[in-house]
Amino acid sequence: MEPITLETGVLLRLLDVSRRMAEQRAFAPLLTYVVDTAMLLAGAERGYLVLLQPDGALDFRITRDRGGSDVPHAEDQISTSVLKKVIDSGEALILRDALSDANFQAARSVINLSLRSIMCVPLISYGKTIGAVYVENRSVRGRFNAIDLTPLLLFANQATVALENATQNDQLEARVAERTRELIEINTRLAQSQAELQQRMRELEALHAHVYELSIRDSLTGLYNRRYVDEQFQSLFAQAERYGWMLTAAIVDIDDFKEINDTFSHQIGDKVLKKITQVFQENTRRADIVARYGGEEFIILFPETSLEDAQHSCERIRAQAEHYDWDEVAQGLRLTISLGLAHNQGHSDPEQQLREADARLYLAKQSGKNRVIAS
């Protein structure tokens, strides 16, 4: 068997295709170059690269004429009989004159298109035919021979490699894109979950703060309740002892409150408690703690305040309560308060200080009410 020899020009073209395959990932221009080169070397007028779809349909991927233009309606400009023969058999085919070939002269496409010289080679990937390269020359009989077939087979092989690489690249890019999409979705869900968690945490913190606030407030007046003032008294007393501060406590009682309830009703009594709360708040500092201790009795804690200064504040409260226009609450209503004060010095604990303030309140009551008495 004689060795097959290739012209230098063909080898250079093959090397150029190989170089282009190594340098570029876009395979459509590469396949176009392969078809154009195959046509040039074989002297063909038209060239086609056709792929077989999974459903058996033909995909005319590259369609070229020798002027470098795409062939319109390529499926109507080719012998499908020849094409299917090559794809089904997986073997190359050369027709020197299709119109006189016993196997194809009756084919409608051969007759209608007046086909002459045809050369078609299969594209085989991993033992499976995936398409074909088809070139033709309608002007000349016997344009193609066995020598022309060898370069076309080589070009077809390179086209198959390009298609395989493109398929692998497409699959890889699809997997990367899918994985990227999954990661984006995961990150989006994580961000949403984090945002939802943070929102939930803020809601829980707000709810906790609200519940805590409710637990330390008197529901009628909005002042602190006995539980809160007892806790704060312990803390303030300890700080005063540690740093040598003054801490004054006042117990306030509405004089004859029972008579107000009996005379004007408990609803009026509730309004009185709310109004007197306003009097306390208007005459105390932000640092002072005002609490409803129970019924009509209140406690005011004056941190870092001497007994004398606290007494002045309590006197203002007493005077404002006495001169308030209580007719706004109920016609004929009059109200006074009594206050007893004690400072922390000389007392061992808050309870002892509070008992002294309570004793001073009792003395204020016994002395005619509507007065402030300090120890």
Which residues are designated catalytic? Answer: 296
2 secondary structure, DSSP code: P
Cα gap 188→274, rounded to integer Å = 52
> C-alpha distances in angstroms, 114 versus 100, 109, 117, 144, 225?
10, 8, 10, 16, 108
The token duo for 13 is 């073209």
Cα gap 35→8, rounded to integer Å = 19
Backbone phi and psi for residue 73, each to the nearest 5 degrees, phi listed first: 50, 50
Residue 206, CA atoms < 13 Å, CB-side half-sphere: 6
Identify the CA nearest to 268 among candidates 326, 338, 339, 336.
326
- Residues 106, 79 contacting (CB under 8 angstroms): no
Amino acid, res. 128: K
- Residues 132, 119 contacting (CB under 8 angstroms): no
Cα gap 364→374, rounded to integer Å = 9
Q: For 136-163, give one letter per residue: b (16+ CB within 10 A) or e.
A: bbbeeeebbeeebbebbbbbbbbbbbbb
- Residues 92, 122 contacting (CB under 8 angstroms): yes
